[in-house]
Amino acid sequence: MCGIVGVVGNKNATDILMQGLEKLEYRGYDSAGIYVSEGASKGRLIKSVGRIADLRSKLGIDVAGSTGIGHTRWATHGPASESNAHPHTSETARFVLVHNGVIENYLQIKEEYLSAHTFRGQTDTEIAVHLVGQFVEEGLSVLEAFKKALHIIEGSYAFALVDSENPDTIYVAKNKSPLLIGVGDGYNMVCSDAMAMIRETSEFMEIHDKELVVLTKDSISVSDYDGNALERETYTAELDLSDIGKGTYPYYMLKEIDEQPTVMRKLISAYTDEAGQITVDDAIVKAVQNADRIYILAAGTSYHAGFASKDFLEKLTDTPVELGISSEWGYNMPLLSKNPLFIMISQSGETADSRQVLVKANEMGIPTLTVTNVPGSTLSREATHTMLLHAGPEIAVASTKAYTAQIATLAILAKAVGDANGNSKAAEFDLVRELSLVAQSIEATLSEKDLIKEKVEQLLETTRNAFYIGRGNDYYVAMEASLKLKEISYIQCEGFAAGELKHGTISLIEEGVPVLALISNNEVLASHTRGNIQEVSARGANVLTIVDEAIAREDDDIRVRTVHPFLSSIAMVIPTQLIAYYATLQRGLDVDKPRNLAKSVTVE
């Protein structure tokens, strides 16, 4: 969702804010703004609708100062406009604030405390900064006013507040929305994630929910909302600046697709012991062994990765697996088994819907495991256990390498539990070898980019809709493949169980409708899917087949090198990622930043 950056100290604030916002742009990109203080009561507020590049074009060369806050927005309250873009100011414009999250009681606050105020836009954020301003007018110090406001405000937020009259301090607070302090020499920073600060520092400090931080150029004080001081260690992040660059790639998505063989190999090395055997923390293995049912909770692509992992998790751990959509389970928890284990899958580790489920699970005393790409993320911190994806930062909004890493990581877990249980299928499943073969299969598909591009250009150039079909694990890949295609190319696409089409949806098939069929290496399912292809072809569909090479026919379109059936989803999804990529390129759209979306969905 929105991204926040702030800096106070001895640095050029405009430069830091702008490069931070560029790095944060994947979190939201419908409008942006910065406030830079040029001394007491002298500040510049610049906002723009659109991308950070639009904001940059509005900056004069003379915007200089060493304290500032910036924001890139994903609209929740009020459309994308300059008046709704952050930073927002208080009634007298003395206070300036950026916010990520949703203030749930903003209308009550407006009515109860701010009925005489005039607002410039429609956002919930503006109410928060007016509230602080109001309390200062009533005689409170800035810190006391901020604390009082925090006691009143309900919902999710990461705030950074500047008092333009005393711009040597940034006031920061968070609840449910991500925020991190960056520690510098003669300056300090605050930001939604480490990636946007890594050029300046690799030393960070976590902030927990309902904590308030007062930042000056050489001090960081953390307290709770009642003013009790809290001790907090700093830590050094392992991020490398080159991890977050695009290099020579035109888009992050293509870079991230190409990184998948490396990610498979990284996972092997992260989860093998000195003898080359798969190894997972004993406590995590025990948590699975103690469970009578595994519940996987996730959203979007991560939810699809859960489906792709269900079969091997059940077969290797001998434990039933149930899937849940986080946004549904957060408030409608179904009847659970006696000894459940919740596995939260989340690339970002910050998804508010998944966090809501985790909060409930913690209240209910249910053991939890978070499978995430981001160490130290909220879902990691708050779960009983964490397994990391080792995929490196994923910046394109459309998730690719995280999906395949999620399946591989869960396979590692399933194998470790199966081995500990003496499961015979686990004993036969040489996962280190199989993941190496998966890496090779991905490489083979990546070497066919030109062919895939050509097929896409013939099939999807003008279509408004399409279908992916498959059976078994291929059905789960079809769900993910269709999400990928629709989210970036805006082609309406459904992922369908091939056999289910004839129970209604086949009425949508008419002359020229693209149907993309996935057929991995299972003879029985393959022959049934081939039958379904006949049915749609007979009704005029334009069919493209993506088939495991071991069972491919002469006229199949895209061949995928065979991998172990447990891992077929990883190999089969690669062509579909490239299909989404090339279909989007052909339409001249921004592959990395599709409309209406943001990378990290930190509102419910």
What are the residues binding ligand F6R (CB under 6 A)? 299-302, 346-348, 351, 354, 398-399, 483, 487, 600-601
How far apart CA 436 and CA 419 sit, in angstroms, is: 19
Select 188 or 404, whichever has its Cβ closest to ligand F6R. Answer: 404
Q: How far is the CB of 197 from ligand F6R (least distance, A)?
A: 20
Minimum CB distance to ligand F6R, residue 449 (Å): 20
Report the candidate in 477, 404, 482, 5 with the shortest Cα–Cα distance to residue 197: 5
Task: State the DSSP string of 76-107.
Answer: SSS-S-TTTSSPEE-TTS-EEEEEEEEETTHH
Could you say which of 2, 147, 174, 486 is catalytic?
A: 2
- Minimum gap (Å) between residue 330 Cβ and ligand F6R: 13
SS3 label, residue 190:
strand
- How far apart are the C-alpha atoms of 30 and 72, rounded to whole Å? 7
Q: Shortest distance, CB of residue 563 to ligand F6R, whole angstroms?
A: 22
As measured in angstroms, the least distance from the Cβ of 374 to ligand F6R is 8
Q: β-pairing, 67-73 with 211-216?
A: unpaired
The residue among 9 and 178 lying less far from ligand F6R, judged by its C-beta, is: 178
2 flagged as catalytic: yes
Closer of 67 and 373 to ligand F6R (Cβ): 373
Beta strand segments in 268-419, E: 293-298, 321-325, 340-346, 368-372, 385-388
N residues, the chain = 604
- What's the angle, vertex CA 492, arms to CA 488 and CA 498, rounded to 5? 115
Cis peptide before 87 (omega within 30 of 0): yes
Residue from 174, 415, 486, 599 carrying the catalytic annotation: 599
Q: Give the Cα separation of 584 and 591 in Å (integer).
A: 6
Q: Is the dihedral of CA 109, 112, 115, 116 positive or negative?
A: negative
Q: Which residues pair with 321 in a beta bridge?
A: 294
- 255 is a catalytic site residue: no
Name the β-bridge partners of 468.
Answer: 495, 516
Angle, helix 401-421 to helix 568-586, in steps of 10 degrees: 170
Q: Please state the separation of Cα 5 from the chain's center in Å.
A: 18
- Compute the distance between CA of residue 452 and CA of residue 383 in angstroms, rounded to an integer: 41
Q: How far is the CB of 347 from ligand F6R (least distance, A)?
A: 4
**Interatomic CA distance for residues 505 and 74, integer angstroms:** 34
**Spatial distance between the Cα atoms of 110 and 183, rounded to a whole number of angstroms:** 36
In the three-class reduction of DSSP (H, G, I as helix; E, B as strand; rest coil), residue 227 is classed as coil
Q: In angstroms, what is the minimal distance from the CB of 253 to ligand F6R?
A: 10
Q: Which helix (H) or strand (E) holds 159?
A: strand 155-163
Q: Which is nearer to ligand F6R, 145 or 518 (CB)?
A: 518
Nearer to ligand F6R by Cβ, of 26 and 271: the residue is 26
Choose among 13, 397, 9: nearest CA to 168.
9
From the CB of 246, what's the least distance to ligand F6R, in Å?
A: 18
Of 125 and 346, the one with the shorter C-beta distance to ligand F6R is 346
The residue with its CB nearest to ligand F6R is 300
For residue 240, what is the DSSP state?
Answer: -
* Kind and range of the H or E run holding 404: helix 401-421
* Residues annotated catalytic, as ranges: 2, 599
